Structure 1
Amino acid sequence: MNKEQLFEQIKNKRSFLCVGLDSDILKIPAHLKDTSDPIFAFNKEIIDATQDLCVAYKPNLAFYESLGVSGWESLEKTVHYIREKYPEQFIIADAKRGDIGNTSNLYARAFFDHMDFDAVTVAPYMGEDSVKPFMTYLDKWVILLALTSNKGAADFQYLKDEASGDQLFESVLKTSQNWGDTDQMMYVVGATKAEKLKEIRVIVPEHFLLVPGVGAQGGSLEEVARNGMNDQCGLLVNSSRGIIYASSETDFAEKAREAAMEVQVDMEELLLEADLL
């Protein structure tokens, strides 16, 4: 899926919502725990309830890896289910990988060849040769960590280079543009850093941004849109806990849909205000 196709999905669904499938075995409704694959059963109902309100799904791999082999099986079944039933969806592996070239090549093979994700989140710390192997898949995306929403982001991401005057996250944005184009690379920018989006848009005006932190983490959707939207929307705003855990009872899928619809309605208004629909 290229950038134009992603924008078409945003216009068709009047939404730039990404639903994070942070599916925790300790938090899913109790009645699902008697099923043969509780995580997949949970994901399947969430997906069926929200698929017309979002353009992307983002499983965070930690929730699956923590369960060992059974977790990987649940993840594979989830991706396969989305591919088979809702092929228009953009699927992101929130894996935050990044290693030397030959290892990154194997990560890319795992997520793109074996599991058929559209995109994978990648840490830029080890530089170009750790990212380039993901770029050899021309129909796939790298989503590079730029400015994250966690408190510890301040430890390194704002450090300033005395020679250039750039903060580290700005150096990541500027340097990485030599590695891939706007049909291959997105950036993670946390919603709790929405005030920085104007500065970021000066550096990367045309790239899509994956923006976590709206909802349970307290980020403002309106601020994100006002500061970060471009002429192709250019945003995938993720909400995880605020949607998938809207209820812990048997009505969890219905409540997830209601929560997703609230976000989608707000997104539609913002798209209309930006004259993108």
Structure 2
Amino acid sequence: MNRKQLFDLIKQKQTYLCVGLDTDLDKIPKHLLSEKDPVFEFNKQIIDATHQHCVAYKPNLAFYEALGPKGWESLQKTLEYIPKDIFTIADAKRGDIGNTSSLYAKAFFEQLNFDSITVAPYMGEDSVKPFLKFKDKWVILLAHTSNIGAADFQLIESKANGRRLYEEVMLRAQSWGSTDQLMFVVGATQADKIESIRKLAPEHFFLVPGIGAQGGDLELVSKFGMNEQCGLLVNSARAIIYASAEKDFAQAAKREAEKVSEEMKIYLNKYL
């Protein structure tokens, strides 16, 4: 999916919600555990209930890899089930030297056919460039994340120019890929910084995790993070997919997704 198609989808649906498919066998409703593939059955019902209220799905690969071959099978079936007009994100946080990154890119873009993948930039340009060689595929580069440990490295200031490490990453990475193929991860819990972060990359899309269960402020993120093509995919996982642990889990997920989507519609009309 290219940038125009993504923006057209946001305008059409009047939402920029990404639903995180962080499917945990310990958290899904117990009645599903008797299914042949409980993970896929859970995802299927969540997708059926929420696809009208979101523009993207983001499976976190750890939840699938931890289940071995069965997890990969559940992931493949999930991807095939997601409607073709919805953006897909492999939350895999890959990043390694050339040949290895090339194979990771083939795995996620050719074999699994994701639209995008999250990539760690720590090893530099040659670890990211292989992912940028695929037409209409996206790299979502970790920039300023929402976890507590983000401060350990991301906020270190350069003695040479005073820039923080995440700022250096964002500025330098823009020479590696265009606004049609490169996004940045910016945590919603960094909402107080998002206005200055937007100035670092005015035209790029941001993937923003951290609303819902993590407490990020959706209005602040929208007000200061939106650009002329929206430029935001805001992710919510637990608050939506685990809104209920009972047999009504899909209906509860739908209500939560619809509530977030309706709020996003207000901000699209207000700030876009």
* TM-score tier (shorter): over 0.9
- Following superposition, the deviation at residue 13 of structure 1 comes to 0.5
Matches of 1:220 and 1:4 in 2, distance apart?
27
Aligned ranges for residues 183-262 of structure 1 at < 5 Å? 183-262=180-259
Q: Which runs of 5+ in 2 are unaligned?
A: none
CA drift of 1:5 comes to 1.0
Structure 1 residue aligned with 2:164? 167
Provide the C-alpha distance between the structure 2 equivalents of 1:52 and 1:248, rounded to a whole number of angstroms. Answer: 22
Structure 1 residue 179, shift from structure 2 partner: 0.4
Equivalent-residue separation in structure 2 for 1:115 and 1:138 (angstroms): 15
Q: What is the CA–CA distance in structure 1 between the aligned matches of 2:3 and 2:192, rounded to whole Å?
A: 25
Q: Which amino acid aligns with 1:255?
A: A
Q: Please tell me whether residue 62 in structure 1 is matched to residue 75 in structure 2.
A: no
Question: What is the alpha-carbon distance in structure 2 between the residues aligned to residue 223 and residue 265 of structure 1?
Answer: 16
User: In the alignment, is residue 43 of structure 1 matched against residue 40 of structure 2?
Assistant: no
Aligned length: 272
Aligned-pair distance for 1:2? 1.3
Matches within 5 A, 1:145-160: 145-160=142-157
Counterpart-to-counterpart distance in 1, 2:195 and 2:202: 9
Q: Matched residues in 2 for 1:221 and 1:182: separation?
A: 23
Q: Give the structure-2-normalised TM-score.
A: 0.99
Is the counterpart of residue 23 in structure 1 residue 23 in structure 2?
yes
Match of 2:117 in 1: 120
Name 2:264's counterpart in structure 1. Answer: 267
User: TM-score under structure 1 normalisation?
Assistant: 0.97
C-alpha displacement of 1:197:
1.0
Q: For residue 95 of structure 2, what is the amino acid of its counterpart?
A: G
Q: Does 1:108 align with 2:105?
A: yes
Q: Match for 2:29: what amino acid?
A: P
Runs of 4+ with >4 A deviation: none
Residue identity in the other structure for 1:174: L
Q: CA deviation at 1:81?
A: 1.0
Q: How far is the alpha carbon of 1:138 from its aligned partner?
A: 2.0
- Identity of aligned pairs, percent? 63
